[in-house]
Chains A and B, each alone.
Chain A
């Protein structure tokens, strides 16, 4: 707990509290947008869209995409079903699993609790950007430390670790244990994830 507070106080770039706040706000937005009375509530301030599909532009991993989404569609659904980027996984609806973690404008957020229409004009980075012919050192460390079993939580974890280490490149084991609690794994790969994160710290990047 002390470590956790230490992280929040001295390294303000990443904070689990902020992460949770972020996804909580998005979850609330989901509830508002899909609940009754949304039109009245929103009418005064912003342009009303929906309930039918609306056209938006999303920038994902540096590439712009034109797509048509229902206003209630989450970013996760848009990524998975409109762009076939299935690395971010649907595990929870409320951001509590971390399996759909993506980086939006430099912040880790749960795509499942973020509306696609809220991501217009934002930079979205998904796990797929950490792969390809030159995989990110975090992805490689996950393989080397075998930080995966079934693998369904792994992409979300890889994104979370990448972001955490970007903010804390010299993280200690205690800081890693305190700072990566937003992702859920059922197979129990945490011990290996800790080793993978440490391997990246020791590797310098």
Chain B
């Protein structure tokens, strides 16, 4: 077995270069087929009836009128009389018809009687939640240098201890910060096109989990996963919300089976926002004390938020305060149960909210002391606490220096609220930093080398957007010394060897692991054949520029095609397998971070915040494709600008209705809103040596805090809750004047 490794830095021909994505043209010209785009002959169109009420009980369902609608072929109920509904939009029935219009007409003709129940959706108001019995406080998590003795009353001891710690602090700030719920808002909604061939199901599913969803169809349909093929060549956004087949996937398959016709069921936009995934909210009341230089010594906070109606899924207390680790902490997490759609993982679960709920308080300490936020962040950098965190403070320091240079921070900095105004416009700077794991997921691939020189790889992975296909092609081509175009990448089918779901920044690491391992092993077998032919030692060979040759001697070797012809009649098939274990891998690693800085201009008269410049410095271990890596950071920053300035779920407090659940009402950043964005891939030798670490989540974490801090720096007043809409900015200014 080969010794798995990456090429020494500076020797790679592809790894670490900028490469166009290999599926770029199909995507740009509309030829790429998403689940929504699969059209099967005789296909029916299905739509769901979602509950119009947030909290109710179904008294009766009458589908008779719907069944008579012209073009309707099937009506199936998905709930029964007596069932309780806990969020608006929850699926009640499904109609399949000859056209989308007919299906919509069918849905509208279903008559349901509801018994309305009490509604609670206003999770920002902690006292209201407590009154309504919807707050479920967890036990406070406390860390102090002094601990209570056996005879001490714990609460009393800690109250006194925290009072003492705060009295010793040079400065104390008390703040309130918040981040409301946002929806995933995948542009391709959740759904599938399902077709049967006798007793076998082919589900074209929009999924970030190609290898893990077949059995989710199999179980409820009374078949086993071997009779299910999940297929997804392209997915139009997932962000953590598309790991499951979902009830609406299963019902589509069921109706397809019963009608004998393929069925397409993609969620309507309003249902996509209501039921297919939200990011939990987070609101916090903080008291923090620091020394005269801004080093935080004590942190005391209560934070709450909702993940929907079910189990506590709001931001965990373990990441409060975010990244920083003061010596004394008391933090309490309070999940609020609301009659709203359930949460799903949203890019870096918990982290963006935690960052925006706590690094804002650190910035307020700088404001109160009148010192540079940069210095406060620097003084609070955490000391490494785990082996994975080793050198993390050094990396942050290095990244802060790079970011400050790119932003021209020192020259632009002014104390909070003390900048020069141009008319009603004031500018400000803010920063934040973040952390993420990003270890590789388990991944298996088959590398196939054909006797005519053709190269393929097969794995049940998916491309959520980071350019997974291109990364795979680069890894295999690098190993074989071939151009990228020589490698055919086959992903997107559950028929291929299993590879992990794309979540938690694990995919590029995982697929790089399996494909590097598989191709290194395959190359070793080819080397053995070539060595025999050339009468040299296999260890003396290299694969370079389309040849297998004695190292440094291109004349002593064979072309790739000649080398492969030594395989005889049968292709060489080698499995590449990576399983996350206790031992560190030479190819991938865990733990990344990054530093981001925002410069904004705020109009004090209108409350409008505009992005001037944004700098994102990000480490990610060894970088495979610099072009797509940079794109992911640009994208994360823009997604961050969206939740910092524009987007939020707005609920009607009386009815629990999702008010802005259409594309035109759910405000996101547009092209003209993003300002200048500077991305820097931070990859010193120490990073390159660590191997691949995932990138998907980390750069989306900091923007909320960085932009909020920049606005606070501009105004001299904190706008406590994101997104920083004109209304909130003007309210904060009003309050600041009062």
Contact = CB atoms under 8 A, between A and B. Distances in A.
B25 A135 contact: yes
B631 A94 contact: no
Contacts of A81: 39, 43, 99
A84 interface: yes
B269 A93 contact: yes
B672 A177 contact: yes
Contacts of B39: 80-81, 84, 86
A140 B496 CA distance: 31
Interface string A29-51: 00000100000000000000001
Contacts of B29: 87, 127-128, 130-132, 135-136, 139, 155, 158
Interface in A74-122: 77, 80-81, 84-94, 96-97, 99
Interface string B176-201: 00000000011110000000000000
B632 interface: yes
Contacts of B31: 87, 128, 131
Contacts of B673: 190
Interface residues of B, number: 62
Interface stretch (B214-222, B231-239, B483-491): B231-239
Interface residues of A, number: 65
Contact of B677 (A87, A140, A191): A191
B28 A186 contact: no
A194 B236 CA distance: 21
Interface string B612-627: 0000000000000001
A194 B671 contact: yes
Nearest to A177: B672
Interface in B600-643: 627-628, 630-632, 634-639, 641-642
B14 to A, nearest CB: 16
B634 A150 contact: no
Contact of A188 (B37, B467, B637): B637
Nearest to A183: B671
A153 to B, nearest CB: 5
Nearest to A99: B187
A17 to B, nearest CB: 14
B40 to A, nearest CB: 11
A120 B159 CA distance: 76
A9 interface: no
A93 B25 contact: no
Nearest to A72: B101
Contacts of A80: 37, 39
B30 interface: yes
Interface in A125-182: 126-128, 130-132, 135-136, 139-140, 142-144, 146-155, 158, 176-178, 180-181
A73 B99 CA distance: 8
A84 to B, nearest CB: 5
Contact of B36 (A72, A89, A190): A89
B501 to A, nearest CB: 16
B670 interface: yes
Interface string B155-173: 0000000000000000000
Contact of B663 (A77, A88, A184, A185): A184
A153 B30 contact: no
A191 B674 contact: yes
B636 to A, nearest CB: 7
A150 B237 contact: yes
B7 to A, nearest CB: 24
Interface string A13-26: 00000000000000
A189 B28 contact: no
B638 A190 contact: yes
Contacts of A28: none
Given A87-B30, A142-B28, A181 B670 contact: yes
B30 A127 contact: yes
Contacts of A73: 99, 101
B225 to A, nearest CB: 26
B634 A188 contact: yes
A87 B639 CA distance: 24
Given A96-B663, A177-B672, A86 B33 contact: yes
A150 B188 contact: yes
A148 B190 CA distance: 20
B539 to A, nearest CB: 39
Contacts of B632: 149
A149 B20 contact: no
Contact of B662 (A52, A77, A92): A92
B362 interface: no
Contact of B638 (A4, A92, A140, A188): A188
A110 B452 CA distance: 48
Contact of A150 (B30, B102, B235, B638): B235
Contacts of B464: 150
B667 to A, nearest CB: 10
B663 A150 contact: no
A192 B638 CA distance: 11
B69 to A, nearest CB: 11
B25 A150 contact: no
Nearest to B71: A70
Nearest to B29: A131
Given A151-B234, A152-B187, A92 B635 contact: no
A99 to B, nearest CB: 6
Contacts of A89: 34, 36, 187-188, 236
A200 interface: no
A146 B627 contact: yes
B668 interface: yes
Interface string B254-294: 00000000000010010000000000000000000000000
A94 B669 contact: no
A84 B636 CA distance: 33
A186 B237 contact: yes
Most buried by B among A99, A126, A185: A185
Q: Which 8 A-B pairs have the closest CB atoms?
A: A87-B30, A131-B29, A188-B638, A152-B236, A149-B465, A143-B24, A92-B663, A188-B635
Given A70-B101, A177-B671, A187-B639, 12 more contacts: A73-B101, A86-B36, A89-B34, A126-B30, A131-B29, A136-B29, A152-B34, A152-B186, A186-B639, A188-B637, A191-B638, A191-B674
26 contacts: A73-B99, A73-B101, A88-B30, A89-B34, A91-B269, A96-B662, A99-B187, A136-B29, A143-B24, A146-B20, A146-B24, A148-B21, A149-B635, A150-B188, A150-B236, A150-B237, A150-B464, A151-B465, A154-B27, A155-B29, A178-B672, A181-B671, A190-B638, A190-B671, A191-B637, A192-B634
Interface of A: 4, 34, 51-52, 70, 72-73, 77, 80-81, 84-94, 96-97, 99, 126-128, 130-132, 135-136, 139-140, 142-144, 146-155, 158, 176-178, 180-181, 183-194
